[in-house]
Chains A and B, each alone.
Chain A
Amino acid sequence: MAKPQDLHFFIDPNRCIGCQACVQACTECDTHRGESMIHLEFVDRAESVQTVPVVCMHCEQPTCAEVCPADAIKRTGDGVVQSARKPRCIACGNCVVACPFGVPELYEDRQIMMKCDMCYDRTSVGRKPMCATVCPSQALFYGTREQAEQLRPMSTPVNRFQFGRQTITTRVFTMMPSGLVSSRPYVDVTAAMAEQPRERAIRLEPLPADDPFAGVEV
């Protein structure tokens, strides 16, 4: 079994089929049974079946923790940003507003913020998080850098994101399609029915980074 520090979380929205296996499995976790810490949304169901799964990105400098007036959000030595600690959290919701990825949620009934802790009970002992274990499309993938490179040659893992003037480096990677995203991404049926389709190819630009894995503090 790989060492916990060699294992990384990769999100690939391109693979996501919106089945919600991750959401359903997340509610089975012993630390928050009955509640899912994953967000899975259609981007725009009227236009596409594209869905995007969002787990906590586990930032190097977590905005949620930085804005917490009660110092209730801790980051473990191995880079996992934990849910709010019960005695400290005052349920002010600062973190909910501040997180650029929209991850934390306030549970009014319990007066606490809860969010994904990357299944710390599993990942801290070298096992996969529940969502990445069950994900049938492996849009949520947990493995080594070498596995990611071998299994996903058509995309690049990125973990630096620009939000306005804030640049964020995360422990979780997003897979970005390399180069041109396919010459003919048919996102609507009528384009596919036409003899002269519209070209809708797009190009994505990663933020400059030497080695995304080097940025991960383990």
Chain B
Amino acid sequence: MATIPVDPLKIIERYGPHRSAMSGVRLSTTAEPDRLVRTHCCFCGQQCGVQLKVLDNQVIGFEPWEEFPFNRGMLCPKGVKRYLQGAHPDRLTTALERDPSAEHGFRQLAYDAAIARVAREIARVQEAHGAGAVAVLSGASLTTEKTYLMGKFARVCLRTPYIDYNGRLCMVSAGAANKKAFGIDRTTNPWSDMVGTDVVWVAGSNVAECSPITTNYLWQARELGAKIIVQDPRITPIARTCDLFLPVRPGRDAALFAGVLRLMIERGWIDQAFIEAHTVGFDQVAAYCDQWTLARTAETSGVPERSIVQAAEWWGTARTSFLFHARGIEHHSNGVQNVLGAINLVLASGRIGKPKSGYGTITGQANGQGGREHGQKCDQLPGWRDIANPEHRRHIAGIWDVDEASIPGPGVDAYELFRKIDRGEIKALLSICFNPKVSLPDSGFVTRALEKLEFYGAIDFFLNDTARHADIVLPGSLQEEDEGTVTQVEGRVIKINKAIDPPGDAKQDWRIIQDIARALDRPHGFTFDSPRAIFEELRRASKGGVADYSGITWEKVEAQMGVFWPCYSEDPQTGEPIDHPGTPRLFEPGSYNPVAKGAGPFYFPDGKARFNVADYRPAVDDADGEYPLFLTTGRVVSQFLSGTQTRRIGPLVKQYPEPRIELHPRLAERLGIASGDWTTVTTRRDSITLRALVVTTIRPDTIFIPYHWAGEKSANRLTVAAQDPISKIPQYKVCGCRVRKADSAPAYAAVLEPEQ
């Protein structure tokens, strides 16, 4: 029974979101910390090093960690104020059980009783409807140890194929395209390689707001002479001073890349020797691009011809270069093709696998990289292995000490999982580190599906918007309450260190999962006594896979301040034990990898990279007569993902309190809208009303709404649940919409705080 138990306002009254403030010991000018704990920020994929000040089991502030090489003390506002998520009035310190008769919808429950109820419900549903009637949703903000455990828990304990994770909304287009082009899925170079290049091309990445620390690398590259090309429908802070701005119409990235590549081929701005020696498939790509004449590319992409030519010339004639992209080109029903288009530009240039020349995708979540490697994806087993590959299954079955046939086959992506719930095929759900009611597109559908569940158990440290539907909520741990590893944007495995203990009945997530396994009387494989013990098994499980972590130890991570995977325990060439330092740069000439076995630097048996035809397809629910404008969505710097944490941190809420609709003055004038006016946006799914922000920094045919807010303020009520056919990423970055000045202020404005 997963309907909201009482009026949401009553739930909000008790469980928030409320804003934390600097108060008590956190406002004291004399409080001295007991100790400083070196760890990393809990938010984005940059994973900046930071030192937390701890006093009496409370984080009371931070001190920069200037020795950590990636960020050298730098932090964004989220990293500065992250500590205010702890000791929070909304924090769940007991388990909760749904109770419509309770004033706030839930009653407290003893932890053991809550575990017993979860196990009982899972057993009941599985007995009545089969193992696959239970599903798990997990997340990429968890440590790699936890993500490994979640994948194993679904397959070994629950024996369900239905597990997927919130990286489905984030990294999968990049991952799928990297797999097709390179046979491995990781940024190729450390960010320090960016400084000193001739050209940096930033495609669909609001670096300044979504990965702020990367800005300094970008600016430093520019100081030393790099030309910066930015491809975006909005002038973001990094686009403000770029050398070439490509104001692409939302959803047209593949067309733009094809047009640029055609020019490069036509004018001889390609590395023919590299293409012949190290790639396959160029001819088909060249044939495809031939139709993308300059005029057609400009017409389709919305980028003027002069800028397409300029981009092709600068990119084509550079000696060194870096191209990186993020969700701007990936969040599309054509996301994999967009990424392949970008990769084709890199491969045609031949500038990869060298110092000062690289390619990368910017990870979104803390463990956006590690979280997509070790088996919580629906089609994956640890070590970036394939759950449908018999050899891979045998290896992992051996590590898990289970019969290979008992490991389920591939499941479905996170959105399809909700469709299965809607169709009654999945009847029970356990979620952790995922707030799909805010983060999935067409969230009205997600809500209706949730309401059909027979049982929903949620693990979280706050009662997130989706968990309001839960029958049982188990109190999980904050990042600073546990230890483990994550893999950051560069592919560097780093260590999260524990600063404090979880409060009250709250438990470290891996303990909760193991407690459920025990209560189900299926403890086999779930008797780890520490995250380190999980990591040791993960090392063995990953060995021989593409994402090989076997040579990584926590000690090595600490000593080197991070280890880039692959990192081998045995030399892949000789099989001899080695003390491998890791692999900061991929695809270097002459490098050996266990897939190519010396045939070449790329991770295919012939050692060659793949050109893939990157076909432009118009967006689903594209702007048209009835819905004539493009809606695109994204982030602001002070908020993170669905806001479960950041909408509870007072100073971050103050910085950008509520979502606003960005629109161009030409459009605003036509619609009679001024900055600050209540404005209604309507798509084929729903309408929402927010205040307008009239700015010249966006295309006049496009509006932008940040997606971090819930309920009536949620941009994902509007977005379309169209997905890429390969990666299954949702098309968040474009759909048709119409806009009008609202008749009056929305009802929520009078009753809700900005963060609610």
Contacts and interface: CB of A to CB of B under 8 A. Distances in A.
Interface in B1-42: 22, 27-30
Contacts of A162: none
B649 to A, nearest CB: 10
Contacts of A46: 665, 675, 694-696
A33 B237 contact: no
Nearest to B656: A20
A32 B80 CA distance: 16
Contacts of A154: 222-223
B216 A189 contact: no
A198 to B, nearest CB: 13
Contact of A192 (B73, B245, B305, B651): B245
A10 to B, nearest CB: 12
Contacts of B235: 48-49, 186-189, 192
Interface in A113-167: 128, 130, 133-138, 151-154
Nearest to B233: A189
Contact of A17 (B30, B215, B234): B215
B74 interface: yes
Interface stretch (B58-66, B113-121, B278-286, B347-355): B58-66
Given A50-B240, A193-B302, A134 B697 contact: no
B213 A151 contact: no
A45 interface: yes
A34 B650 CA distance: 12
A111 interface: no
B237 A45 contact: no
Residue among A14, A151, A192 having the largest count of chain B Cβ atoms under 10 Å: A192
Contacts of B80: 21, 24-25, 28, 134
A31 interface: yes
Contacts of B76: 19, 21, 136
A138 B77 contact: no
A130 B213 CA distance: 16
Contact of B304 (A21, A25, A31, A193): A193
Interface in A184-210: 184-190, 192-195, 197
B79 interface: yes
Contacts of A186: 235, 239, 242, 245
Contacts of A151: 220, 223
B637 A45 contact: no
B71 to A, nearest CB: 8
Contacts of A136: 71, 74-76, 212-213, 215-216
A47 interface: yes
Contacts of A138: 74, 216, 219-220
Q: Give the residue among B80, B81, B224, B304 with the most A Cβ atoms within 10 A.
A: B80
A15 interface: yes
A interface, size bucket: 35 or more
Contacts of B593: none
Contacts of A31: 29
B208 interface: yes
Contacts of A19: 76-77, 208-209, 212, 237, 637-638
B556 interface: no
Nearest to B668: A46
Contacts of A51: 237
Contacts of A130: 64
Nearest to A15: B219
Interface string B226-255: 000000011111111111011100000000
Contacts of B30: 30
Nearest to A186: B245
A38 B64 CA distance: 18
Interface string B625-664: 0000000000001100000000000011001000000001
Given A19-B209, A46-B695, A154-B223, A27 B240 contact: no
Contacts of B695: 45-47
A4 interface: no
Interface in A41-56: 45-51
B423 to A, nearest CB: 43
A49 B241 contact: no
Contact of B29 (A15, A16, A30, A197): A30
B331 interface: no
A137 B80 CA distance: 15
A48 B213 contact: no
Contact of A187 (B61, B240, B306): B240
A134 B213 CA distance: 9
A190 B74 contact: no
A212 interface: no
Contacts of A79: none
B212 A49 contact: no
A135 B66 CA distance: 12
Contacts of B655: 20, 24
Contacts of A27: 22, 651
Contacts of B638: 19-20
B699 interface: yes
Contacts of B213: 136
B240 A49 contact: yes
A18 interface: yes
Contacts of B698: 189
B700 interface: yes
A182 interface: yes
Contacts of B664: 189-190
Nearest to A190: B700
B212 A189 contact: no
Contacts of B303: 193
A163 to B, nearest CB: 26
Contact of B237 (A17, A28, A30, A47): A17
Nearest to B21: A34
B208 A17 contact: yes
- Determine which residue in A19, A28, A182 has the highest number of CB atoms from chain B within 10 A of its CB, and name it: A19
Given A19-B212, A27-B651, A46-B696, A195 B240 contact: no
Nearest to B693: A45
B307 interface: yes
Contacts of B699: 189, 193
Contacts of A25: 75, 80
Contacts of A30: 29-30
A124 B695 CA distance: 43
Nearest to A193: B247
B223 A190 contact: no
Nearest to B216: A138
Contact of B215 (A34, A45, A137, A185): A137
B73 A133 contact: yes
A86 to B, nearest CB: 13
Nearest to A19: B637
Contacts of A28: 61-62, 80
A17 B664 CA distance: 20
Interface in B40-85: 61-62, 64, 66, 71, 73-77, 79-81
A14 B655 CA distance: 21
Contacts of A194: 304
Given A33-B27, A46-B696, A189-B664, A182 B243 contact: yes
Task: List 3 A-B pairs, minimum CB-CB distance, nearest first.
Answer: A17-B208, A17-B237, A136-B212
22 contacts: A14-B241, A17-B215, A17-B238, A17-B637, A24-B651, A24-B655, A25-B75, A28-B62, A28-B80, A33-B29, A128-B66, A130-B64, A136-B74, A136-B76, A137-B208, A137-B215, A138-B74, A138-B216, A154-B222, A185-B241, A186-B245, A193-B304
Given A137-B216, A193-B304, 5 more contacts: A14-B241, A15-B215, A19-B208, A23-B77, A134-B73
